[in-house]
Amino acid sequence: MTPKVARYLAEMEPATPCLVMDVDRVEQNYARLKAALPLARIYYAVKANPAAPILERLVGLGSFFDAASFQEVEMCLDAGAAGERVSYGNTIKKERDIAAAYARGVRMFAFDSEAELLKLARSAPGARVYCRILVGNDGAEWPLSRKFGCEVEMARKLMVQASELGLDAFGLSFHVGSQQVKTAAYEAAIAKVAMLFTDLAEAGVKVRMVNLGGGYPVRYKSEVPEIGAFGDAIMGAMTKHFGNALPEIVIEPGRFLVADAGVVQSEVVLVSRKGEDDPVRWVYLDIGRFGGLAETEGEAIKYGFRTPHDGAEEGPVTIAGPTCDSTDTLYEKSNYRLPLALRDGDKVELLATGAYVTTYASQKFNGFAPLNEIYI
Amino acid sequence: MTPKVARYLAEMEPATPCLVMDVDRVEQNYARLKAALPLARIYYAVKANPAAPILERLVGLGSFFDAASFQEVEMCLDAGAAGERVSYGNTIKKERDIAAAYARGVRMFAFDSEAELLKLARSAPGARVYCRILVGNDGAEWPLSRKFGCEVEMARKLMVQASELGLDAFGLSFHVGSQQVKTAAYEAAIAKVAMLFTDLAEAGVKVRMVNLGGGYPVRYKSEVPEIGAFGDAIMGAMTKHFGNALPEIVIEPGRFLVADAGVVQSEVVLVSRKGEDDPVRWVYLDIGRFGGLAETEGEAIKYGFRTPHDGAEEGPVTIAGPTCDSTDTLYEKSNYRLPLALRDGDKVELLATGAYVTTYASQKFNGFAPLNEIYI
């Protein structure tokens, strides 16, 4: 938690549940990433947190943007971004949304299928397009399965077809999974992309861009490698495979830029046991999986906690949200421990919750309104 | 899909994604449930769908209400329900929410722990309280784990304590899990409750109510037993264990009353394959797990589909939502098949989606607004 956030919570005592976010920290993270990958163009993955103060700050820093929907395209434009700085990176788009983005100046689009390519040819004529290929997600705490991307052989054919359709067959992309803690995942994917570059050049299609996606990890409960290690591994692999003919490098960080800038504060609603001799207490918070903490599904993302009793004796806990739904349980198997002194009414903080929280919040499950958002 | 919903979709062509709901069907389901369990008092589980037209219709029918939060209490009151017809059934409540509900006339509250009981004694003096006990959820498609309820021995002590604290130790409750397809689950739970009734009577606490919770199943993709089978099993078990001294019987149906009254209509955004020889197509809809279909988590609830090509040749599909999140995949392992003729732009209907959909919808994940809701 940054000192600014800590001070705000202490002085303002905002109603819970709330997210308090230090926008200066986003700027620092942007600078750290720039330093680690100076040759890469940063497209902020807006879906991680689309709040206007974040987008506006990043516009001021010269960032580019990766939008998942036409609504996110509009958020970027509203924040002052030029259309040509926005990539429409979702491979699943309604054709009328493609047309609407194109009309607003967007000129870069992702695809991974022939049907999507035909939509782009019709509704974004001449635009830069890039094909997403399937790569391994081993090492990712929030992996991406086969939903996005296509096999390399299909990508090769589609890129040739893109060119024939009058589109600019601009690049290739992949995504190694979010919260990826292994640098080798990027190295393997770059090798795969490089071979496809060569194949396409032989087919007469001159690809000029590699989009490395996101995935750069953030420190939650456990340590992760420094961003410098990812920068070194990525540039090492790029140089090994492309030599001096480096293509344009695009990265799409989301979590890395915003996660540790934010803290969710929550009130403890109840601490109880299921039987008198039960060693495990249940701690119920006023935010849960349907209040925004969706990435705790399967206990994938393990947030760190702060409580007013830190340092005092701890015991094992199951941590759950406030709704009448059992799936609204955050951590049951991850061996969380919290102070024995914890009581209902206590405020606790969930650390590094600036990414992938606010937008997930259900509109009104069990009648609960989404969390408050405060940007300072 | 009821004829009224089918006619509305054909004539009005509402923007997708949307839920269209036939409120008359809710009334018919209420009557069916009344017929199956004439001695039970129906407390509608508001969380299943809190839309005002539904609450108002149920108020008119004389229904009681089970609220999960103070906000849901207010929705009931706004719809015209009297405070004494509302039960605050969540065992996890902020004390100020208990006080607020009490101030609005609510006189029935659930609990399953000493800490919660103490809050009730302070902030809802003299109210009727009922203790939720843990029972098996075997046979439920949406089970409830150990998040709610306590062990029987603890419940016994807490009910005695409730009485000592000046509360009305009114009842005992359990929940066999949602979409429960086995009548035996209720029979086993009733036997457990009946023994506790006897124990408490010996301890001088005269309990007068059994709350059987909800769980009554709805037909999704597969057949389920008729509601009459549940009514017979429940009343058989009640009579067996309580004889002529039947306590007041409370049931908390949610899904059963509203699910099959509603249909979600969605637009197909993309149909694609990951490789040219891939036998499985991916069908991407404009609604997914974060647009309201949260109960497809783990492919637990299997909705039925209707398409414009029904009857034509089908093939295997994976069905996914529109967001840049792989967990936003509805069905990958459940052997869904859809017509080979299905194309982007087609409208498909997800049947029996009137329960546990609208409120789950994320406020803006990936920039997508929650689905439209239409009550007719």
**Out of B91, B324, B329, closest to residue A47 by CB:** B324
The pLDDT of residue B140: 76
Residues B65-81 as b/e (b if ≥16 CB within 10 A, e otherwise) read bbbbbbbbbbbbbebeb
Residue type, B354: G
pLDDT of residue B161: 98
Whether residue B269 and residue A92 make contact (CB cut-off 8 A), yes or no, is: yes
Q: Quick check: A150 and B272 CB within 8 A?
A: yes
Q: What pLDDT, on a 0 to 100 scale, did the predictor assign at position B320?
A: 98
Res B138: pLDDT: 78
pLDDT at A338 > cutoff 80: yes
CA distance B333 to B318: 8
A355 to chain B: closest CA residue: B365
Task: Enumerate residues 6+ apart whose C-beta is below 8 A from A9.
Answer: A20, A263, A265, A347, A349
The strand pairing partners of A109, in sequence order, are A88, A129
Q: Which of A119, A151, A294 sits opposite B274 (nearest CB)?
A: A151
B-chain residues within 8 Å CB-CB of A16? none
- Pick among B98, B252, B365 to test the A interface (most A CBs inside 10 A): B365
Distances (CA, A) of A197 to A173, A243, A250, A334, B163: 11, 13, 15, 43, 76
Q: Note the pLDDT of residue B136.
A: 76
Per-residue model confidence (pLDDT) at position B306: 98
| CA atoms of A215 and A209, how far apart (whole Å) | 18
Distant-in-sequence, close-in-space partners of B333: CB < 8 Å, separation ≥ 6: B299
- Per-residue pLDDT tens for B310-332? 999 999 999 999 999 999 999 99
**B290/A360 touch (CB, cutoff 8 Å), yes or no:** yes
How wide is the angle at C-alpha A176 spanned by C-alphas A44 and A131, nearest 5°?
A: 75
Q: What is the pLDDT of residue B109?
A: 98
Alpha carbon distance A227, A159 (integer Å): 32
Using CB atoms, pick whichever of B50, B67, B360 lies closest to residue A362.
Answer: B360
pLDDT digits (tens, 9 = 90+) for B131-189: 999 987 777 777 667 899 999 999 999 999 999 999 999 999 999 988 899 999 999 99
Answer whether A71 sits within 8 Å of B359, measured CB to CB: no
pLDDT of A50 above 80: yes
Please state, in angstroms and rounded to a whole number, the distance separating the CA atoms of residues B179 and B137: 10
Q: Which residues of B are catalytic?
A: 324
What is the CATH topology of the domain spanning A259-375? Lyase, Ornithine Decarboxylase; Chain A, domain 1 (2.40.37)
Catalytic residue chosen out of the listed positions A18, A131, A150, A324: A324
Chain A nearest C-alpha distance from B123 (Å): 15
The pLDDT of residue B178 is 86
Q: Would you state the pLDDT for residue A139?
A: 76
Q: Among B70, B274, B362, whose Cβ lies nearest the Cβ of A359?
A: B362
> Which chain B residues contact residue A144 at CB under 8 A?
326
Chain A residues within 8 A of B71 when measuring between CB atoms: 364, 366-369
Closest chain B residue to A294 measured between Cα atoms?
Answer: B290
Name the residue of chain B whose CA is nearest to A95's CA. B269
The answer to whether B33 and B256 have CB atoms below 8 angstroms apart is yes
pLDDT of residue B295: 97
* Cβ pair B95:A328 closer than 8 A: no
With pLDDT > 70 as the criterion, what percentage of chain B qualifies? 99
Contact B145 A368 (CB under 8 A): no
- Identify whether A17 is preceded by a cis peptide bond (ω within 30 of 0): yes
Taking only the tens place, the pLDDT of each residue in B79-101 is 999 999 999 999 999 999 999 99
Please name every residue paired with B319 in a beta bridge, in sequence order, or none if there are none.
Answer: B283, B331
CA distances from residue B331 to B73, B318, B327 in whole angstroms, order as listed:
35, 6, 10
Q: Is the pLDDT of residue A37 over 80?
A: yes
Cα A95 to the center of its chain, rounded Å: 25
Which of A19, A92, A106, A329 would you mutate first to test chain B, the one with the most B CBs within 10 A? A92
pLDDT tens, residue by residue, A279-314:
999 999 999 999 999 999 999 999 999 999 999 999
The confidence score (pLDDT) of residue B358 equals: 98
Average pLDDT score over chain B: 96
Distance from CA of A6 to the nearest CA of B (A): 24
**The CATH number of domain B50-253, selected from 3.20.20.10, 3.10.20.310, 1.10.1740.10, 3.55.10.10:** 3.20.20.10
Supply B268's token pair: 């197909």
Residue A158 CA neighbour count, 13 Å, CB half:
32
Q: pLDDT band at A178, cuts 50/70/90? A: confident
pLDDT tens, B201-235? Answer: 999 999 999 999 999 999 999 899 999 999 999 99
State yes or no: pLDDT of B360 exceeds 90. yes
Q: Taking a C-beta distance cutoff of 8 angstroms, is the pair A53, A375 a contact?
A: yes
pLDDT at B141: 76
Q: Cβ A90–B322 below 8 Å, yes or no?
A: yes
Across the interface, of A146, A290, A359, the residue whose CB is closest to B274 is A146
Would you call A269 and B94 a contact, using CB atoms and an 8 Å cutoff?
A: yes
Interface test with B, best of A144, A147, A328, A360 (most B CBs within 10 A): A147
Q: Are B135 and B192 in contact (CB under 8 A)?
A: yes
* Ranges of each domain in chain B: 50-253, 259-375
Alpha helices in A243-360 (DSSP H): 255-258
Chain B residue at shortest CA distance from A318 = B147
